[in-house]
Amino acid sequence: MIATQSRQGLELLEELSRTGDGKPPLGCMQCGLCAASCPLGDAMEFPPRKLILEAMARGLDRVLASPSLWMCVGCYTCSLRCPRDIELTDRLWPALRDRSMQAGFQPPAELQETFQNVLKYGNVLGKSPRQRLDWAKDLDVRVLDLSKEPRPVEVLWLVGCYPSYYPRNRVVTRAFARILTELGVSWGVLGAKEKAVGECDRMFGEEGLFETLVEENRKLLAQQDFERIVTLDPHAFRALQNFYPRYGVWYPVEHYTTFLAGRLEKLRALVVRPVEATVTYHDNCCVGRRAGCFEPPRALLQLIPGLKLVEMERNRENALCCGGGGGGMWLDGHIVAQGGKRLSDQRILQAAQTGADILAVSCPYELSRFEDAAKVAGLESRLKVRDIIELLAESMDLGERSDS
Amino acid sequence: MSGSDILVLAEVHRGTLADITFELLAAARGLVGGSGGEVVALVLSENGAAFAPALGAADRILLVDHSALANYAPEPFLAALAEVVTARSPRAVLIGATSIGWDLAPLLAARLDAPLALGCKAISAEDSALAVTASFCGGKMVAELRIDRAPAVLMVLPGSFRAAEAAGKAQVEPCTLSASLEPAAIRFEEFLLPEAGDVDITQQDILVAVGRGIQQKENIELAEQLAQVLGGAVCASRPVVDQGWLPTTRQVGKSGMTVRPKLYLAFGISGAPEHQEGMKNSELIVAVNTDPRAPIFDIAHYGAQVDALELLPALVEAIGARKG
Amino acid sequence: MNIGVVLRQVPDLIEPLEVDASGTALDLSAATFVVNETDDHALEQALLLKESGGGTVTVVALDFGEVDNTLYTAAAKGADRILKLAWDESQSPTPHRAAAALAEALRTLAPDLVLVGVQAHDELDGALAPLLAARLGWPYVGVIRGVKQAAEGGSVVVCKEFPGAVMARLVVRLPAVLGILGAEQPPRYVPVSRIRAAMKSTRFEEAAHAAGTGPAGIAVTHMAPPPAGARAEMIAGSDTEVAQRIVEILAQKGLLK
């Protein structure tokens, strides 16, 4: 019964490869909504519509060899708008990338390195697994390492690679630990045993790597006793909710915004300090556009006294992706070489246009992407980038903040 | 030559004596000490007399001249070296850890069944034995070795000894070999020189160096920005060049360029010996690496354990603020 | 051209290395292993030669240091045969010990060309590549970046890397051993699914050859990480604070225009 991504991807590919029978593959009407919606469509040799057209006319050879295959950042805009509901982002692109690598084409070098890192060390950054819990050093709340002390908990917090290792993200991670504790939630982490969930590997087409991670995580999770998984990473949330179950690995999982929004009244009593700032919120793609979860993050922000929420013109399902998904964190060089732009550079200007003091985010990639973009645009003194968690922690009077 | 002589392979590359030769002569001098042994330099070339005047730091200079030695190829060089060592029985043979040395030192040791130490940084004589300090595991481990068989073949890391000054006049001794140096299975054809036109990093006062920690080709732009505000140039360690992110003319290290700028800023470079070799004599070295154990911190004057990708733009900003 | 490639596993330097109880050797019990980088380049170079000129690529390796993954990866990349030599796991495969067994296997294999990485970071008192050449009685040259078939039959053209981006082009008559520094392109990526497929379909050939001994006359008396010694003055603080301090230092030294 295990329907793997590859089987369905293969079905899509096979349909795509069929030519000459008069029927457009996948039910595609060639309307072009996908290409027009794609934030990088202009720079792609084969945006989705053209890709399907090419398959109809000539087959997949040129597509598999094309560098534009490695430009999709997994924003789901095309998939959401496709009138035929073709699963472009989740199925077609990963299957094509997989097929391309199987045929011997080399993915961009930076991606290769992330694959090697995940395979060897269980994290995309190539850091030692032993240092995975270093973010918790000298933390003023107790971090329960379930890999050493297995105990029943309400929440198994899958911390994630960037939140564990990346300096800027560690501030957020520590703040979340404090918030969970303050809320009286019983929680634990997997410590040095935690492995990447693998969502980005699946998106890059490294299906074999994804399946390897599913198996490793299956074993890890089976050893633990918990009610739900909570993650800071919308990408991990998406994989755990939508793809792991296809391998028989199913657990209730929430992104932190829904988890905390489910405890709104408790939080209301705890947000004592005002944060006097105008804040605009950037909807991330996996929890936002894809899962339709737009109100919980806003509810959290509006809880904070003194905080004024303003909207960017492109918000909710029309938000412009930051460019970090689908491998995007490692594809900026490749995308720029193909004539594309860093999407975070565009998005930061949209945020600045609102007149906001703070751009609030809820995805680990967005912190560094938007802070970089703010520097590039010369905005960093005017527009700060903060995770919702940092703003909540500040309002709850819970410890250190980032200094940037 | 007697059992307490030290033989130094004087390395000739494209018509000049390589700098390592003088470091080896200094190391050899430290070994012969008061033992009565000689520091003997061996020149393998087509016309060694031309190099003799520069080798005054040796006590004796052996010249082996042969047309087969005009340009380096392993077999004639090994045959000549082995014959001289067998005939003269030195206590040790010092060879530089260079492209040529990486062939000849282990080949010689295998040919003579002699003990070999790679990565030597310090050598001293201890009664009848030699005590050697050797670096390995990318500079993360140091081994003390004791060698009590002669000849010992020691491959010495450049930069481990200060170049010897010429002392007095060395005795020049032309040598003829009985071994035939031809024919050989490996034949030198020609040198391939890099294309001109790119920046010559050996002439820069300020270098901004990037290593693996730069993570993506795109981030090199950050280093370029810093180089620009400082009036310097960007260079790189081998992994960055291997990826094709910068041309080989920007490579610093054993298999790249040796630089001695006034300022060397190293971002995301771990500082393995091969890289250190190329820049350790820089006047001021500032290293940035998130790994506190990175060997680069052993030779840097200042260090910071922060993310290079964060610090590069912060530096550009701080310099801009100071000027503006 | 039939090519033999030697792959070695070396301790991963991502973790700090430890010294064993004797104080004279690495403690490998806690180490994780990865394929030696220049050996990986040797494999890539061999595959490139096979792709351009035909022939076979045979990988030879000692059964040590979690080598199976490396071997399956080599098979997935296109190696035709994998020869795994039995090895006493308690004996660290120093170059002298390893060379004897590997040379025997290579002698039996009788390829035209043997490619090995020019060095491994755990080599201290021997270098495997030239030792293999000496045992086989074949010519050797190392620090090679790029190998091509020569126009004259039975030879290859190699580039030996020198400082300053200079290369020496040499013609090598086969059979020979080459110490590879780098292949003409970075080692290729092969998707995990292919490695897993190789795990199911590849059969390793197995053999056993005696390990070597020695070298004589040299012994480790002490081993440790380098002394902290004269280290850099570390600047602490946030990125902005560090940047400001560095700018102050540069200004003091007259390095800011």
The tens digit of pLDDT for each residue in A181-221 reads 999 999 999 999 999 999 999 998 999 999 999 999 999 99
* Beta-strand relationship, B92-96 and B60-65: unpaired
- Say which DSSP state B257 is in: B
pLDDT band at B217 (very low <50, low <70, confident <90, very high): confident
User: Average pLDDT over chain C, rounded to whole?
Assistant: 94
Closest by Cβ to C160, choosing from B99, B193, B287: B99
CA distance C71 to chain B (A): 23
Tokens coding C193: 């699914």
Q: Which residues of A touch C14 (CB under 8 A)?
A: 121, 126-128
pLDDT band at A1 (very low <50, low <70, confident <90, very high): very low
Q: Name residue, tokens 């490749």.
A: A334
CA distance C189 to chain B (A): 13
Q: Which of C19, C36, C57 is nearest to C127 (CA)?
A: C36
- Cβ-based neighbour number of residue B150 at 10 Å: 19
Predicted pLDDT of residue B242: 73
**CB neighbour class for C21 (10 Å; exposed up to 12, middle 13-18, buried from 19):** exposed
State the Cα–Cα distance between residues B93 and A319, nearest whole angstrom.
70
Lowest mean pLDDT among B53-57, B245-249, C20-24: B245-249
For B52, the enclosing helix (H) or strand (E) is none
Residue C142, helix vs strand vs coil: strand
| Nearby residues of B124 by Cβ (< 8 Å), 6 or more positions away | B30, B31, B130, B131
Q: Is the pLDDT confidence value at A10 over 70?
A: no
* Beta-strand relationship, C2-7 and C9-11: unpaired
Predicted pLDDT of residue B188: 97
Q: Do A330 and B313 touch (CB under 8 A)?
A: no
CA distance A162 to chain B (A): 14
Q: Which residues of B touch A333 (CB under 8 A)?
A: 216-218
Closest by Cβ to A120, choosing from C34, C190, C191: C34
User: Average pLDDT over chain B, rounded to whole?
Assistant: 91
Q: What is the pLDDT of residues B270-281, one digit of tens each?
A: 888 778 888 988
Which amino acid would we find at residue A311? E
Tokens coding A17: 């490869």
Q: Is the pLDDT confidence value at C227 over 80?
A: no
Q: Is the pLDDT confidence value at A37 over 80?
A: yes
Tokens coding A325: 């998904």
Predicted pLDDT of residue A9: 63
Cis omega (within 30 of 0) on the bond before C16? no
To the nearest whole percent, how much of chain B has pLDDT over 90?
69
C199 and chain A in contact, CB less than 8 A: no
User: Average pLDDT over chain A, rounded to whole?
Assistant: 90
For A302, the enclosing helix (H) or strand (E) is helix A295-303
Q: Are residues C248 and C233 in contact, defined by beta-carbon separation less than 8 angstroms?
A: no
Q: Which residues of C touch A98 (CB under 8 A)?
A: 191, 193
- Say which DSSP state A285 is in: I
Q: What is the pLDDT of residues C130-181, one digit of tens each?
A: 999 999 999 999 999 999 999 888 999 999 999 877 899 999 999 999 999 9
Q: Do A102 and C192 touch (CB under 8 A)?
A: no
Predicted pLDDT of residue A397: 94
- Cβ-based neighbour number of residue A237 at 10 Å: 30
pLDDT band at A4 (very low <50, low <70, confident <90, very high): very low
Tell me the average pLDDT across A83-92.
89
The chain A residue lying nearest C197, using CA atoms, is A208
The chain C residue lying nearest B249, using CA atoms, is C165
Substitution target in C48, C50, C189 with the highest count of A β-carbons within 10 Å is C189
Tokens coding A46: 């084969």
Q: Do A333 and B310 touch (CB under 8 A)?
A: no
pLDDT band at A306 (very low <50, low <70, confident <90, very high): very high
Q: Do C122 and B136 touch (CB under 8 A)?
A: yes
Closest by Cβ to A167, choosing from B215, B307, B317: B307
CA distance A171 to chain C (A): 13
CA distance A81 to chain B (A): 32
Predicted pLDDT of residue A335: 83
- Say which DSSP state A311 is in: -
Q: Is the dihedral of CA A50, A51, A53, A59 positive or negative?
A: positive
Residue B95, helix vs strand vs coil: strand
B306 and chain A in contact, CB less than 8 A: yes
Length of chain C: 257
Q: Do A115 and C192 touch (CB under 8 A)?
A: yes
State the Cα–Cα distance between residues A47 and A63, nearest whole angstrom.
10
Measure the CA angle with vertex B252, ends B251 and B256; round to 5°: 65
Q: Do A333 and B216 touch (CB under 8 A)?
A: yes
Q: Do B218 and A332 touch (CB under 8 A)?
A: yes
**CB neighbour class for B56 (10 Å; exposed up to 12, middle 13-18, buried from 19):** middle
Residue C250 has phi, psi (to 5 degrees) of -65, -40
Neighbours of chain B (3+ CB pairs under 8 A): A, C
Substitution target in A120, A170, A372, A381 with the highest count of C β-carbons within 10 Å is A120
Q: What is the ipTM of this complex?
A: 0.92
**HSE value, Cβ hemisphere, 13 Å, CA-based, for B174:** 8
Residue B317, helix vs strand vs coil: helix
The chain A residue lying nearest C195, using CA atoms, is A208
Closest by Cβ to B216, choosing from A110, A168, A375: A110
Neighbours of chain A (3+ CB pairs under 8 A): B, C
- Cβ-based neighbour number of residue B168 at 10 Å: 8
Check residues A342 and C128 and name the one with the higher pLDDT: C128
Predicted pLDDT of residue B232: 93
| Nearby residues of A397 by Cβ (< 8 Å), 6 or more positions away | A272, A273
Q: What is the pLDDT of residues B253-263, one digit of tens each?
A: 877 888 989 99
Q: Do A110 and B217 touch (CB under 8 A)?
A: yes
Substitution target in C241, C242, C256 with the highest count of B β-carbons within 10 Å is C242
* Beta-strand relationship, B284-288 and B263-267: parallel
Which amino acid would we find at residue B228? Q
A349 and chain B in contact, CB less than 8 A: no
Which amino acid would we find at residue C52? S
Q: Are residues C129 and C141 in contact, defined by beta-carbon separation less than 8 angstroms?
A: no
Spatial strand order in the sheet of B186-192: B186-192, C166-173, C155-162, C140-149, C176-182, C113-117, C2-7, C56-62, C81-85, C205-207
Beta bridge partners of C58: C4, C81
pLDDT band at A176 (very low <50, low <70, confident <90, very high): very high
- Say which DSSP state C110 is in: -
Q: Which residues of A touch B307 (CB under 8 A)?
A: 167
Q: What is the pLDDT of residues A232-271, one digit of tens each?
A: 999 999 999 999 999 999 999 999 999 999 999 999 999 9
What are the start-end ranges of the H helices in B89-212? 99-112
Q: Which residues of A touch C187 (CB under 8 A)?
A: none
Phi-psi region of B267 (alpha: psi -120 to 50; beta: other; left: phi over 0): beta
Q: Do C168 and B254 touch (CB under 8 A)?
A: no
